[in-house]
């Protein structure tokens, strides 16, 4: 099978096999792995280091946190061996417990965000929100085309969509907070916007058909996604050929309290990361540029990214 002895040795250790089973399912922080496995940080970190030496996992830093995921694009035979090893112990009680703990951790992530956005529904436009400036929104608005179908993904109360609906043919606001959807629906009715419809849904699994809109917007929503690439892929899926995606989001920063204050999952993104998300999804003519910088600390910067889905 042309698999190194080092990988075979790695797979012989129960802890490392448990770690591989977990990161095969989800990218996880060291703290989350500690909670799932009920092990100390030093033990987990040392085992992850061994997995990294044989290129089975990859890590990234996000502020003070280290996240680990299964390395993509492994040789097919190596991948088959690892999956076979994991499958061979998948029904053991300890593995079942790990999966239950992982599900609990993922639910905890979602619940934390939902609680935050439910709590501020009705006040989002009045409260401070990183990157939500009229300057940045103005740059987005300049790229609008009248009489088109629009999807505002992660819309919140739909402040942007409330403006777009005056000229667009149809605007769909997608948000995973039931309270946000409720508040936005009331606002649309109050403002007489019959073409503005709110739907409960996740930006990583958008409840709209393939090729159903001309413009997809992710305005300060992508850094709340568990899997940003999946959200960008969904934007590509729902766009008609010739359609455009616009992404407003924070430039990468180090303001850790954003996780607690604003339920942020990601501390912004580098320009190169946004570019890569869009190219991987299939967009062409991708452009990413900084369009705003706040004067107050921590001086959040806003990026605007755009891309086209070419007609085929």
Q: Does 264 fall in a domain?
A: yes
- Mean pLDDT over residues 88-104, rounded? 95
SS3 197: strand
Select the more confidently predicted residue: 114 or 230. Answer: 230
Q: Are residues 140 and 48 in the same domain?
A: no
Q: For residue 90, what pLDDT band results from cuts at 50, 70 and 90?
A: very high
Residue whose C-alpha is closest to residue 175's, from 135, 212, 144, 207? 207
CATH label of the domain that carries residue 38: 1.10.10.10
CA–CA distances in Å: residue 85 to residues 6, 8, 11, 76, 276? 15, 10, 7, 14, 32
Q: Are residues 217 and 265 in the same domain?
A: yes
Per-residue pLDDT at 144: 60
- Mean pLDDT over residues 243-262, rounded? 96
User: Tokens standing for 254?
Assistant: 């180090």
Q: For residue 124, what pLDDT band results from cuts at 50, 70 and 90?
A: low
Q: Does 126 fall in a domain?
A: no
Q: Does 55 fall in a domain?
A: yes
Residue 245: Cβ-neighbour burial (10 angstroms; 0-12, 13-18, 19+): buried
Q: Does 175 fall in a domain?
A: yes
Per-residue pLDDT at 2: 47
CA–CA distances in Å: residue 283 to residues 60, 234, 276? 25, 12, 10
Select the more confidently predicted residue: 137 or 98. Answer: 98
Q: Are residues 152 and 95 in the same domain?
A: no
- Strand order of the β-sheet with 65-70 is 28-29, 65-70, 57-62
Decide: 17 and 37 in contact? Cβ < 8 Å: no
> Which residues lie across from 59 on neighbouring strands?
68
Q: Does 285 fall in a domain?
A: yes
Q: Does 129 fall in a domain?
A: no
> Which residues lie across from 307 on neighbouring strands?
245
Q: Are residues 15 and 140 in the same domain?
A: no
Per-residue pLDDT at 1: 39
Select the more confidently predicted residue: 159 or 75. Answer: 75
pLDDT at 261 over 60: yes
Q: Are residues 39 and 92 in the same domain?
A: yes
Per-residue pLDDT at 120: 72
Q: Are residues 261 and 145 in the same domain?
A: yes
Q: Are residues 102 and 143 in the same domain?
A: no
Residue 101: Cβ-neighbour burial (10 angstroms; 0-12, 13-18, 19+): middle
> What DSSP state is assigned to residue 223?
G
Counting the structural domains of the chain, the total is: 2
> What DSSP state is assigned to residue 144?
-
- Mean pLDDT over residues 13-28, rounded? 96
Instruction: Point out the domain boundary residue: 53, 85, 118.
Output: 118
Q: Does 267 fall in a domain?
A: yes
Q: Are residues 109 and 146 in the same domain?
A: no
Q: Does 172 fall in a domain?
A: yes
pLDDT at 132 over 70: no
d(CA 189, CA 69): 44
CA–CA distances in Å: residue 222 to residues 24, 31, 71? 23, 23, 23
Q: Which domain range does residue 45 map to?
A: 5-118
- Mean pLDDT over residues 237-243, rounded? 97
Instruction: For residue 195, report the phi and psi dihedrals to the nearest 5 degrees.
Output: -90, 10
Q: Round the average pLDDT of the chain to a whole number and report it.
A: 91
User: Tokens standing for 273?
Assistant: 């990361």
């Amino acid at each position: 099978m042309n698999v190194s002895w080092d990988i075979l040795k790695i797979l012989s250790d129960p802890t490392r096999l448990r770690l591989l089973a977990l990161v095969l399912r989800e990218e996880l922080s060291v703290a989350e792995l500690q909670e799932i496995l009920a092990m100390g940080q030093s033990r987990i970190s040392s085992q992850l280091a061994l997995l990294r030496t044989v290129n089975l996992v990859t890590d990234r830093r996000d502020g003070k946190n280290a996240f680990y995921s299964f390395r993509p694009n492994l040789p097919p035979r190596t991948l088959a061996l690892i999956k076979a090893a994991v499958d061979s112990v998948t029904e053991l009680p300890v593995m079942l417990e790990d999966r239950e703990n992982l599900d609990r951790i993922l639910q905890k992530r979602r619940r934390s965000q939902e609680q935050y956005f439910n709590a501020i529904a009705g006040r989002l436009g009045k409260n401070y929100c990183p990157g939500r400036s009229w300057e940045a929104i103005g740059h987005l608005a300049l790229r609008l085309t009248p009489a088109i179908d629009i999807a505002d993904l992660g819309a919140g109360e739909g402040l942007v969509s409330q403006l777009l609906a005056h000229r667009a043919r149809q605007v769909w606001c997608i948000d995973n907070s039931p309270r946000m959807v409720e508040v936005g629906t009331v606002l649309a009715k109050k403002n007489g916007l019959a073409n503005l419809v709110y739907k409960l849904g996740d930006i990583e699994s958008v409840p709209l058909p393939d090729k159903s809109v001309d413009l997809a917007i992710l305005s300060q929503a992508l850094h709340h996604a568990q899997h940003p690439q999946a959200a960008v892929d969904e934007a590509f899926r729902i766009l008609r050929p010739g359609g455009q995606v616009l992404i407003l989001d924070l430039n990468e920063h180090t303001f850790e309290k954003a996780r607690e204050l604003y339920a942020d999952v990601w501390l912004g993104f580098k320009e190169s990361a946004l570019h890569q998300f869009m190219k991987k999804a299939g967009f062409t003519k991708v452009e990413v540029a900084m369009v705003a910088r706040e004067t107050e600390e921590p001086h959040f910067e806003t990026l605007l990214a755009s891309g086209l889905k070419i007609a085929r």
